[in-house]
Structure 1
Amino acid sequence: MHVHVELPEELDVEEYRLRNARGEIPDHTPYGLHHIGDDGDVVTFRRPAHGAVAYASRKVRNRLDGYEAVTAVTGAVQRRGADAVLCMDERTGVPALFTSPRRPVVTGIGWLERPDLLGRSERIATTRALRRAAGMFSQSPGVVPILREHWDVDPGRVHGVTLGIDPEFYPEQPWDERDPGGVTITSVGDDRNRDHDTLVAAVEQVRAGGVPAWLELATTIPVTLAPDAGVVHARRMNAAMRGLYRRSTVVAIALRSNPVGAGLTVALEGLASGRPVVATDNPGMDHYVDHGRTGILVPPGDPAAMAGAIAELLSDPERAAAMGAEGRKDVETRFTSAHMARELADIVRGVL
């Protein structure tokens, strides 16, 4: 089987491999998709556009809310010889569905919710595209029923795929290398579904309760955090996140209510690092964070509940350590990029 992967325009696989070799980013290829070839299948990746084509593509993409129409056309010739096309989200998947009449396309769904939430033109175009899909998948269990019930597609073509990360890039961090006092909380995230205000309010409540909690928050989203309560790292941390996870006792993720799987990657990074995760209990989060065993799930928009969960773990480091150890086991046995790639390969193989 030959799978041709069409990545977002900004991802150059060769540059990605170099950055991985320098220890800057996880996995040898984006999403670890090279693992599709672990059992002998052939995997190729779309080469990025350059020059005038790249310029035009960016302009059109910005006008189309991120949909990558130009490179779907100009890069179509690279599909020759492939048995199927794989896209990781709808921004590349929808254009591929319109421009790949001879090869089946399997596309991930990253951000779509109900069709009535879209504008008329986008709703019509997306509906027509998804009808052409040989397969669709989401890494968020909350999205799968939305696709099956609200979109005019064959439910049998919709699949759940388990998200995976690189467990070597995110190793288990020694418990005794946490910050002195063991009161550091780490969080990271820049997407629109992050609710850092709730997290900051929760940390303030923990501190008001007598636990001198310290928050290390990596985000480019504007947020106000008192200097004595923590620090905001207003940049993309990449490999430096491992240091934050090492210093922490808890990884906390506050999210607005949503079904699209926001925060799942950070949850897995925290678990892989051997740290318990406190996270908003959005649809699908419980597939990755086992409430009471590898972390604690709390309702969205509830600083008091999040504060209680954080304080509970900071005050009981033995329990927190045990949760972190169980989380690491889960990542190694269920949540690696190699596991995810095998599931994707099975879906693609099933449409041929």
Structure 2
Amino acid sequence: MHVHVELPEELDVESYRLRNARGEIPDHTPYGLHHIGDDGDVVTFRRPARGALAYVSRKVRNRLDGYEAVTAVTGAPQRRGADAILCMDERTGVPALFTSPRRPVVTGIGWLERPDMLPPAERRATTRALRRCAGMFSQSPGVVPILREHWGVDPERVHGVTLGIDPEFYPEQPWDGRDPGGVTVTSVGDDRNRDHPTLIAAVEQVRAGGIPAWLELATTIPVTLAPDAGVVHARRMNAAMRGLYQRSTVVAIALRSNPVGAGLTVALEGLASGRPVVATDNPGMDHYVDHGRTGLLVPPDDPAAMAAAIGELLADPERAAAMGAEGRKDVESRFTSAHMARELATIVRNAL
């Protein structure tokens, strides 16, 4: 089987490999998709546009809410010889479905919710595209029933896929590497579903209760954090996240209520690092964070509940360490990029 992967335009596989070799980013290819070839299948990746074409493509993409129409057309010759096309989200998948009538397309769904939440023209185009789709998948269990019940597609073509990460890039961190000056709560995230104000309010409540919590928050979203309560890293951290996880006692992820799987990657990074995770209990989060065993799940928009969960673990470091160890075991046995790639390969093979 020859699978041709169409990645987002900003991802250049060759540059990605170089950065991985320098220890800057996880996996040898984006999402670890080279693992699709672990059993002998052929995997190729779309080459990004260059020069003037890249400029035009970026302008068009910005006007189409991220959908990558230009490279779907100009990249069509690169599909020759492929048995199927794989896209990781609908912004590449929908254009591929319109420009590849002769090859099955399997696409991930990263952001779609109900059709009535889209403008009419986008809703019609997306509906037409998805009905052509040989298979679609989501890493969030909360999205799968939405696709099956609201988009008019064959339910048999909709699959749940378990998200995976690179456990070698995110090793289990020793507990004696934590910040000796206090107990650190780590969080990271830039997407629209992050609820950093709830997290900051929770940490402030923990501190008011007498626990000297210190928040390290990596985000480019503007937030207000008191200087004596923590630090905001307003940049992409990449490999430096491993230092944050090492210093931490708890990884905390506050999210707005949504079904699309926001925060799952950070949750897995925390678990891989051997740290318990406190997270908003959105649909699908419990597939990754086992409440009471590898972390604690709390309701959305509830600083008091998040403060109680964080404080509970900060006050009992032995329990936190035990949860972190269980989380690391889960990542190694279920949540690696190699596991995810095998699931994707099965979906593509069944779509042929």
TM-score where L is the length of structure 2: 1.00
Check the 8 A contact 1:60/1:70 in 2, yes or no.
Answer: yes
Alignment partner of 2:181: what SS? coil
Secondary structure of 2:67's match?
A: coil
Q: For residues 143 and 92 of structure 2, what CA distance do their matches in structure 1 show?
A: 18
Query: In the alignment, what sits opposite 1:291?
Result: 291
Q: Secondary structure at the match of 1:124?
A: helix
Q: Which structure 2 residues correspond to residues 196-215 of structure 1 after superposition, within 5 A?
A: 196-215=196-215
* Residue 50 of structure 1, CA deviation: 0.5
User: Hey, what's the Cα distance between the residues in 2 that align with 1:196 and 1:49?
Assistant: 35
User: Is the contact made by 1:11 and 1:48 (CA closer than 8 Å) also made in structure 2?
Assistant: yes
DSSP-derived class of the 2:226 partner:
coil
Partner of 1:253: 253
Q: Distance in 1 between the 2:179 and 2:148 partners? A: 46
CA deviations on 1:236-285 (whole Å, 9 max, x unpaired) are 10000000000000000000000000000000000000000000000000
Cα shift at 1:180: 1.1
What runs of 5+ residues in structure 1 fail to find an aligned partner? none
User: Any idea what SS the aligned residue of 2:324 has?
Assistant: helix
Q: Distance in 1 between matches of 2:15 and 2:235?
A: 21
For 2:294 and 2:284, locate their aligned partners in 1 and report how far apart those are by CA, in whole Å. 15
Give 1:56 shift.
0.9
Cα contact 2:257–2:282 (8 A) shared by 1: yes
CA–CA separation in structure 2 for the residues paired with 1:236 and 1:61: 23
Q: CA shift at 1:53, angstroms?
A: 1.1
Q: Deviation of residue 325 (structure 1)?
A: 0.1
1:280-303: CA deviation from partner (whole Å, max 9, x where unpaired): 000000000000000000000000
Q: Which moved more, 1:180-189 or 1:277-286?
A: 180-189
Rounded to whole Å, the distance in 2 between the matches of 1:255 and 1:101 is 38
Aligned to 1:236: 236
Distance 2:59 2:316 in 1: 53
CA contact (8 A) 2:252 2:279 kept: yes
Identity fraction in percent = 92
Distance (whole Å) between structure 1 residues aligned to residue 59 and residue 220 of structure 2: 24
Paired residues for 1:331-350 under 5 Å = 331-350=331-350
2: CA distance, partners of 1:55 / 1:109: 26
Q: Residue 51 of structure 1: CA displacement?
A: 1.2
String of CA shifts for 1:46-83, please: whole Å, max 9, x gaps: 00011121111011100100000000000000000000
Any idea what SS the aligned residue of 2:269 has? helix
User: CA deviation digits over 1:69-120, x for unaligned, max 9?
Assistant: 0000000000000000000000000000000011000000000000000000
Report if the CA contact (8 A) 1:182-1:249 is conserved: no
Report the alpha carbon displacement of residue 182 of structure 1 after superposing the two structures with TM.
5.1
> Conserved in 1, the CA contact under 8 Å of 2:182 and 2:214?
no
Separation of aligned partners in 2, 1:85 and 1:60: 22
Aligned-residue Cα RMSD (Å) equals 0.5
| Counterpart-to-counterpart distance in 2, 1:223 and 1:56 | 34
Instruction: Tell me if the contact between 1:281 and 1:297 (Cα under 8 Å) persists in the aligned partners.
Output: yes
Confirm or deny: 8 A CA contact 2:206 2:308 kept in the other structure.
yes
Q: Deviations over 1:106-152 (max 9, x none)?
A: 00000000000000000000000000000000000000000000001
Would you say the 8 A contact 1:295–1:323 is kept in 2?
A: yes
May I ask how many residue pairs the two structures share in their alignment?
352
Query: Once the 2 structures are TM-superposed, how far is the Cα of residue 183 of structure 1 from its aligned partner?
Result: 1.0
Which residue is 2:189 aligned to? 189
Separation of aligned partners in 1, 2:182 and 2:162: 32
Query: Cα deviations across residues 145-182 of structure 1 (Å, max 9, x unaligned)?
Result: 00000001000000000000000000000011111155
Give, in whole Å, the separation in 1 of the partners of 2:52 and 2:4: 24
CA contact (8 A) 1:87 1:107 kept: yes
Q: Detail structure 1 runs of 4+ shifted over 2 Å in the superposition.
A: none
- The TM-score, its normalising length taken from structure 1, stands at 1.00
Q: Is the 8 A contact 2:182 2:212 kept in 1?
A: no
Query: Do the aligned partners of 1:182 and 1:314 also contact (CA within 8 Å) in 2?
Result: no
Aligned pairs for 1:135-284 (under 5 A) are 135-180=135-180, 183-284=183-284
Give the distance between the partners of 1:318 and 1:345, measured in 2 at CA. 40
What are the Cα deviations for residues 185-207 of structure 1, in whole angstroms up to 9, with x where unaligned? 00000000000000000000000
| Alpha-carbon displacement from aligned partner over 1:193-247 (angstroms, at most 9, x marks no partner) | 0000000000000000000100000000000000000000000100000000000
1:10-57 deviations in Å (ceiling 9; x for gaps): 000000000000000000000000000000000000000111211110
Once residues 65 and 15 of structure 2 are traced to their aligned partners in structure 1, the CA distance between those partners, rounded to angstroms, is: 26
Contact 2:280 2:297 in 1 (8 A): yes
Q: Distance in 2 between matches of 1:181 and 1:20?
A: 32
CA distance in 2: counterparts of 1:179 and 1:326, whole angstroms: 22
8 Å contact from structure 2 (residues 278, 310) kept in 1: yes
State whether residues 280 and 297 of structure 1, in contact with CA within 8 Å, keep that contact through their aligned partners in structure 2.
Answer: yes
2:184·2:250 contact (CA, 8 Å) conserved in 1? yes
Farther-moved stretch of structure 1 (48-57 vs 209-218): 48-57
